[in-house]
Chains A and B, each alone.
Chain A
Amino acid sequence: MMASSYSAKDEDGHITVSGPGGAALRNKKPENTAFKQQRLPAWQPILTAGTVLPAFFIIGLIFIPIGIGLYVTSNNIKEFEIDYTGDDVSSPCYNCAENFSWNSTKFCTCTIPFQLDQPYESNVFMYYGLSNFYQNHRRYVKSRDDSQLNGNMESLKYPSKECEPYAHSDNKPIAPCGAIANSMFNDTLELVYNDPNGTNVSISLVSTGIAWWTDKHVKFRNPGGSNANLSAVFQGTAKPVNWRRPVYELDADPENNGFINEDFIVWMRTAALPTFRKLYRIIQKKNNMAPTLPRGNYTLKVVYSILKATDLNSVIWMGKSAVSRIRFKFFQVR
């Protein structure tokens, strides 16, 4: 489109040499068509107070029920948020955060008791949230290899150079490569209901269905197809340096292991803003009678082990100045 007219004018004044015989006298009477005479039938609205005010009124009327609907819905949403960053002395995770030793292989676990005043009736979504974590940094966003994640064997061996400096480790290609994968969130959160009768009931957290269906089934694929032996397929690749386990040991369930691990997929969808939430687990409603999470006391167990930084030269990521706060959130949509 751009080009077609672009130089049309240029040619306008150019030499047009008429051959012998000369130009025939032309009858140039223009055609009397509505288009050429600029007389196409047209609707000619004008914005006057008389026309706009009723329109405003109607649009307002339409918006009112929408607004009411939204208001009611949002009132039904219950949220409960626990900050377990551990930068405060009173916080149960303070010790974990303070004493976290970079080269320790031991997990640090902290337990946070909390109380729900209201029961959560339907499905409950558990989110983790981070602040000041620039998942949308350009260097970070592009530091991935979609073709590797799609199961391409070639890219498994030779990761894209966009993954640098997270492409190779010990001369072996990293799978999954890139900064995003390397910094994957893998705190383990457990939820225990302290029944008033004294027993502690562990609440089952569902870890599937947290990623987009299309991501899990189309965009992310394990190399070598769905039935392959993952540890064999990933032979010759290195795990991301910050990870404790290789990618094929993320989950025992073969449908949720390797690149199609949903926690991994969720993490790989980079957040738009530096403060963000990601879906962690879903607590499904069991039967129609009991609430999913009844009123009462709970304990959140955090295995504070993840995000192990092996590069000791790097900055302390949980230092006082730039904090990546980890929040934990309950969220329920009716």
Chain B
Amino acid sequence: DGCSSLRLVLLECVGEENWVDSRTVYIGHKEPPPGAEAYIPQRYPDNRIVSSKYTFWNFIPKNLFEQFRRIANFYFLVIFLVQLIIDTPTSPVTSGLPLFFVITVTAIKQGYEDWLRHKADCSINECPVDVVQQGKVVRTQSHKLRVGDIVVVREDETFPCDLILLSSSRPDGTCYVTTTSLDGESSHKTYYAIPDTMAFRTEQEVDSLHATIECEQPQPDLYKFVGRINIYKDKEEPVARPLGAENLLLRGATLKNTQHIYAVAVYTGMETKMALNYQSKSQKRSAVEKSMNAFLIVYLCILISKAVINTVLKYAWQWSPDRDEPWYNHRTENERQRHVVIRAFTDFLAFMVLFNYIIPVSMYVTVEMQKFLGSYFISWDEEMFDEELGEGAQVNTSDLNEELGQVEYVFTDKTGTLTENNMEFIECCVDGNVYIPHAICNGQILSAASSIDMIDASPGGYRRDLFFRALCLCHTVQVKEEETVDGIKRGIHQGRPTSFYISSSPDEVALVEGMKRLGYTYLRLKDNYMEILNKDDEIERFELLHVLNFDSVRRRMSVIVKSSSGDYLLFCKGADSSIFPRVVSGKVEQVKARVEQNAVEGLRTLCVAYRRLSESEYEEACHHLMEAKLALQDREQRLAQAYDIIERNFVLLGATAVEDRLQEKAADTIESLHKAGMKVWVLTGDKMETAAATCYASKLFRRSTQILELTKKRTEEQNLHDVLFELNRTVLRQRSISGLSVDCLDFGLIIDGATLSAVLKPNQEGAGHGNYREIFLEICRNCSAVLCCRMAPLQKAQIVKLIKASKEHPITLAIGDGANDVSMILEAHVGIGIMGKEGRQAARNSDYAIPKFKHLKKMLLVHGHYYYIRIAELVQYFFYKNVCFIFPQFLYQFFCGFSQQPLYDTAYLTLYNISFTSLPILLYSLVEQHVSMETLRREPSLYRDIAKNSLLRWPVFLYWTCLGVFDAVVFFFGAYFLFDNTTFTSNGQMFGNWTFGTLIFTVLVFTVTLKLALDTHHWTWINHFVIWGSLLFYVIFSLLWGGIIWPFLNYQRMYYVFMQMLSSGPAWLSIILLITVSLLPDVIKKVLCRAMCPTATERAQVRCWHQLHLRLEVQIVLFLKLGCSCFSFSDF
């Protein structure tokens, strides 16, 4: 803010003409006439697109830098360097090799991808583009385009950079464009040429243009652009025209239904909006990741304390010199001369290196892989595919998969999310008289004639006709004449291929269609004239002078037209709250009553008003608008001011009612979410009554729900403080009662935007009243459903933020379909976009996008649940297996004089996490299903079992760690006693320390893998393959590793160790025994927990299991019976 205000001050000092952050584009590189303006040649990048990250020269350093920024790689690097510098127990190869492997493979992959990108860049940069130079079309390469070039683009070509439309082959100066590759919206959008240049037809004409464009510096918002064009005509003052987003053709968009256009380049290369838009969004982190990091810190502490303990013990033990340096084991002279502190520090580092595997570095790799691969199951899900839309669920980030299983609060938009956003015109009310177009009969809309009868039957007159005209004129609907248009068809008229309406707002289409059925047909916009076919089949023409576009703050839109009789008329339609205060006459009471009645029925209402403008009033309005539109700074704000001045003193005409049906299964979904323990909040900009009706219909509120109201109406009667406290008391009283009874009453809260901002406002009255925020949260906590109506987009995000920051820190999910939901989608822990009819912005900014609201159920209850239990097991298992791995090594130090002697061979140390135990857990975490999908969907309450990160809480973590320690103790001391007391082989030969380690390692690998097998509930062939396969791989590897004298190794310590071990009967027995003993406590714990206090999930598992067996039994019985009857028949 400080920055911008400073800039403002600067601006005012320098004068308005010299904007700091604007650019001047000289069209066709022609200098303006002398004296008009100083010619300041500005330097812009050329139109080269560089999507590649590296060049040939910086690839190695840059790529290495990028890779070592990852914690896992960096950890490896540090360990590796320590191993290189000091004399460590394990060779640098143990960490160097995996590191080198990872780095190289990643580098090769990234290098290859970058090479592909270079190639793609090249082909894009070199693709031909037609440029007008000296009145001729010259073909050049795309990357040679410069700002100011005039470009010719033909139909179905993609724009090579961001362009300002000068003229088009269409006579009205418009062109159609699809932005599918930019934002996914496949509808055709109309762009407009500058009126002064739209008449240009030939290159020569275009080239004769002498003008400059001033516009803002590039910024990533696709839907915003401010600029102006100054056109110089000989010796005259330059003509200035405003430029907006409707004049700017974006790179990446495609020209449709227009033969060719002339346009001038304003942003090129990496400054185009498309290039600016591909910067990554801020990262959201899941709760699982947070607990993972917490666990990691604990393990780091364990690692360090282990190293410290061992170092201290080492020096305590070595106090007597014959232990430090016994006669058979001398130091070298060098080592002897080293200072004791340095030696101790080196020892500490060596212990760190020896135990470093306790930090499951490979966990990061596996988790990333699991998330990345696992997210495919969402996009592959056939049930989440919508035939109508032709699209399935879409995963924009795979970081949050498991967060889907942790959601506690669901914030949902109403229109387009809960409802279809498929509007149908129901009725309109003019001056208290209600008009209903004829309903659909047999799926066919009756011809207009029959509805006209009805209108004629009712009293009416000038006002009524004006109302209908107002609705026919006050909109931004386009008429499409073609029968087929790519993408979604809106407002299709069956059997009438000639024309249909297209708009970004379904309400408008519904209204215009409704008017059509009432006898007033909007035909088209031609040369700025809107044509209407009135009920007498006469064409009326209105000149469209200005459109005051809709925005969600104003909540209304207006048009200014000039009728054929020369009257200036301002028509305005908008939400009742934004119209009524501006109305000066009209039958306000009747209309208001009707509007409220409709709202209660859940219909969307709009009010229509008009104002007759005199010539001078019109001029003034024009002046205001032009001034605002030409401004480069704060244009939005100025426009809003101008609109505010113009849109007043209305005469109320009437109101409309449009129905928006609920999406299919919306109620079922909400009910499931409730059962799953989620609190569902509906945040909508709609009126309270409409929204409440929808909430009842969608079962958000049930008949039994006690509704608490916190609305403006109520706070006007009492003050906010009292209302809040009263509600709080109600809620608390109920809770104390329901503490006894099981079937408690649930509460629903309705709050509106105005009250909400009052609640959230920091309390100025001092500490006496306490904080409203807390009381409000307390109330909300006890309500199962909350409806927030009349919300501005930013307020939606505020609510989400408020709940996120409350003291339980619940996980929130926001779901919406429109641009107004983007802020809340970005704010919530998980943002879900619905691929709706109001564009793709929500879907683009979301973490996951689904076609319909009903898919949320499967997304959360099935996918979320699965992902959560999978990743939770993955994380816990990783820590467990590394404890099992390293703890014996720790114990061994007590028996080898704290000399950092590794227990396992280097190969085992290196490969344990990489290959012996990695695949089973990865595949487990991809395919595990502890209960079937059907069960999860049927019993949403199972979701509560995993709420609050229940599988990754400290007690569970402690259990796993203790289990790991127990297993490690069993492995080590089992092997210890066997080695101490037994002769292993029948020929009396003895085993050495490597056999000892190998025995422990074998038990370890088998135990750890079998532990996973015990945890696996869903044995597909993949699990079988991977679990048994990895055990087999371990055996084969060990046979191979010990079977050959490896020439490149300078030691042969593993030679025949594994085979000798296998040749010994006692070794086999001890392996089996130790595995059994290690697995036993976990099995017992599982059985006991299941028997004593089964969770809902476990009960469901048992139920399923019984059903399955019952079914099997029935089948067997049937089969037997059949067999018997066959027998008896044959006997007969």
Contact = CB atoms under 8 A, between A and B. Distances in A.
Contacts of B323: 322
B327 A317 contact: yes
B365 A22 contact: no
B49 interface: yes
A212 B927 CA distance: 46
Interface in B217-258: 252, 254
Interface stretch (B287-295, B542-550, B984-992): B984-992
B905 to A, nearest CB: 12
B439 interface: no
Contacts of B368: 5-6, 8-9
A215 B606 CA distance: 94
A38 B327 contact: no
Nearest to B383: A37
Interface in B1022-1079: 1022-1023, 1045, 1050-1053, 1055-1056, 1060, 1069, 1076
Contacts of A276: 990
A30 B1083 contact: no
Given A6-B368, A28-B392, A52-B1087, A40 B1021 contact: yes
B329 A32 contact: no
Interface residues of A, number: 108
B847 to A, nearest CB: 12
Interface in B886-900: 895-897, 899-900
Interface string A4-37: 1111111111111111111101011111100011
Interface stretch (B371-379, B499-507, B754-762): B371-379
Nearest to B1018: A42
Interface SS of A by simple majority = loop
A37 B381 contact: yes
A4 B922 CA distance: 14
Contacts of B53: 14
Contacts of A272: 979, 991-993, 995-997
Nearest to B270: A15
A38 B278 contact: no
A303 interface: no
B297 interface: no
A7 B365 contact: no
Contacts of A28: 385, 390-392
A66 B1069 contact: yes
A20 B158 contact: yes
Contacts of A15: 51, 117, 275, 278
A146 B1052 contact: yes
Given A18-B181, A46-B1105, A3 B1018 contact: no
A18 B117 CA distance: 11
Nearest to B486: A25
B65 interface: no
A272 B990 CA distance: 10
Interface in B33-88: 49, 51, 53, 67
Nearest to B1024: A43
B992 A269 contact: yes
Given A6-B102, A30-B381, A179-B328, A20 B278 contact: no
Nearest to A317: B327
A75 to B, nearest CB: 14
A59 B486 contact: no
A111 interface: no
Contact of A279 (B278, B398, B988): B988
A137 B901 contact: yes
A13 B1090 contact: no
Interface string B261-295: 00000000000001100101100000000000000
Interface in A254-296: 266, 269-279, 282
Contact of B390 (A27, A211, A314): A27
Contact of B252 (A18, A127, A218): A18
Contacts, number: 318
Interface in A151-182: 160, 162, 164-166, 179, 182
A9 B1056 contact: no
A210 B989 contact: yes
Interface stretch (B104-112, B580-588, B591-599): B104-112
B398 A9 contact: yes
Contact of B380 (A22, A31, A270, A275): A31
B987 A314 contact: no
Contacts of B732: none
Interface in A102-160: 123, 125, 127, 133-147, 150, 160
Given A31-B380, A47-B1090, A3 B1045 contact: no
A90 interface: no
B1019 interface: yes
Contact of B123 (A4, A19, A52, A269): A19
B992 A270 contact: yes
B322 A315 contact: yes
Interface in B377-413: 377, 379-383, 385, 390-392, 398-399
B390 A42 contact: no
B1055 A218 contact: yes
A45 B1102 contact: no
Interface in A40-80: 40-49, 52, 59, 66, 70
Given A25-B486, A48-B1090, A59-B1076, A134 B101 contact: no
A10 B932 CA distance: 33
Given A9-B371, A150-B1045, A37 B382 contact: yes
Interface stretch (B330-338, B517-525, B689-697): B330-338
A331 interface: yes
B976 interface: yes
A97 to B, nearest CB: 15
Contact of A4 (B109, B918, B1051, B1053): B109
A305 to B, nearest CB: 16
B958 interface: no
Contacts of A23: 180-181
Nearest to A36: B380
B111 to A, nearest CB: 11
A315 to B, nearest CB: 4
Given A137-B899, A140-B328, A160 B380 contact: no
B887 to A, nearest CB: 17
Contact of A214 (B156, B186, B988, B1055): B1055
A71 to B, nearest CB: 12
Nearest to A23: B181
Given A5-B368, A18-B158, A37-B382, A211 B980 contact: no
Nearest to B184: A23
Contacts of B900: 138
A319 interface: yes
B497 to A, nearest CB: 21
Nearest to A218: B1045
Contacts of A210: 988-989
A272 B979 CA distance: 8
Given A2-B365, A311-B327, A321-B322, A273 B979 contact: yes
A123 B369 CA distance: 58
Interface string A304-318: 000001010011110
A317 B120 contact: no
A251 to B, nearest CB: 18
Given A30-B379, A42-B929, A322-B326, A273 B976 contact: yes
7 contacts: A3-B104, A13-B278, A17-B252, A18-B181, A40-B1021, A42-B1019, A47-B1086
Interface of A: 1-23, 25, 27-32, 36-49, 52, 59, 66, 70, 123, 125, 127, 133-147, 150, 160, 162, 164-166, 179, 182-183, 209-212, 214-215, 218-219, 242, 266, 269-279, 282, 309, 311, 314-317, 319, 321-322, 331, 333
Given A8-B369, A183-B329, A317-B322, 13 more contacts: A2-B105, A7-B109, A18-B181, A22-B178, A22-B180, A29-B385, A40-B1022, A42-B1018, A48-B1091, A137-B901, A141-B993, A214-B1055, A331-B988
Return the 4 tightest CB-CB contacts between A and B, nearest first. Answer: A3-B105, A183-B328, A272-B996, A5-B369
